[in-house]
Amino acid sequence: MPEPADPGTGVPLCASSDLAEGGRAVLFDVLEYGQPLRAFVLRVDGQVVAYLNRCAHVPVEMDWQEGEFLDGDRRYIVCSIHGATYEPSDGYCIAGPCGGARLKAVRVAERDGQVSWYPSADIRPAFGAASTTSSP
């Protein structure tokens, strides 16, 4: 599990090169209000974005295979359960049974070839748990 360099800095997640445009996401473990769950980071339109892996329709993981969140055109995030469709740039539901809700974002930044995520008051690192899962 990656450790933060110091408090207040990002938690190293993966290399920039691990996130291909429209490719498979890298999954990582977090605690939301102390409860373990997974999050994912991917790259769409050149932008690196991260969300909790939890559908706004029913709180279940959305990927249809591990790390696979995007539709056939590699444009939108689609839940594998009932097809809720989300805009990658902001996580808003644009179609399907998610009713205008949005995915919960995790703040990420990309710098010097490294992608890191930033804990918040409610989303914390899950140190000691299983760590990131990189795409092959």
Residue 65: CB minimum distance to ligand FES, A = 15
Q: How far is the CB of 58 from ligand FES (least distance, A)?
A: 4
User: Closer CB to ligand FES, residue 41 or residue 84?
Assistant: 84
Residue 92 makes CB contacts below 8 A (sequence gap 6+) with: 86, 100, 101, 102
Cα separation, 34 vs 64, in Å, equals 26
Q: Which is nearer to ligand FES, 30 or 84 (CB)?
A: 84
The least distance separating ligand FES from the CB of residue 80, rounded to whole angstroms, comes to: 7
Closer CB to ligand FES, 32 or 134, in the complex:
32
Strands 35-44 and 47-52: antiparallel
What is the Cα–Cα distance from 19 to 34, expressed in whole angstroms?
Answer: 28
Question: What's the closest the beta carbon of residue 119 comes to ligand FES, in angstroms?
Answer: 26
Decide whether 13 or 84 has the Cβ nearer to ligand FES.
84
Q: What is the DSSP letter of 10?
A: P
Q: Which residues bind ligand FES (CB under 6 A)?
A: 55, 57-58, 60, 62, 79, 81-84, 96-97
Rounded alpha-carbon distances, angstroms, from residue 20 to 16, 26, 54 = 8, 10, 22
